[in-house]
Structure 1
Amino acid sequence: MGGILWMIIIGLVAGAIAKFIMPGKDPGGIIVTILLGIAGSVIGGMLFGGSDNRVGLIGSVVGALILLLLYRLVVGRRRTHV
């Protein structure tokens, strides 16, 4: 249970850092950015191996950035065609 809570906290931080690095209007707002940060934390942890806290945080931020970019591309494209 502690691991899941820690992953959520790291995800919140990663989502905030990703939003800071990639500013702009997000279609989903802060809640979607937080959820993308948590998902990015999971993906980044799997890709980069979260054994070291710094590597885990960097991997989480990279994962959140990738998901945020993909989200903007998919949702932005959907809004322009509707």
Structure 2
Amino acid sequence: MFDHGPEGASVDVARIMESLAEQGITVLFKADAERMREGVKPWTFVASGAPVHEDLLVRTDGVSVEACLDVCLPRLREFGLVIPE
């Protein structure tokens, strides 16, 4: 868990990933060592719905886990997925 958002609310990334997997979504978080050394958005978040939700693909690169979640979680909610708080 880590602090996230202006209120410093705690977010459990593993819980979010498990919830998405239970809904048929494959989720990947990656930290790229080379990009981290270069100081270029080392974190990648990818969520894919194939084969259950074939039209779903959400991906972003960010400077932090929090930055990736800020972009991706609202997009996943737009697909009707339930994201635990």
- With normalisation by structure 1, the TM-score equals 0.32
Higher helix share: 1
Structure showing greater relative contact order (alpha-carbon pairs closer than 8 Å, 6 or more residues apart): 1
Q: Normalized per residue, which structure has more strand?
A: 2
Query: TM-score, with normalisation over the residues of structure 2?
Result: 0.31
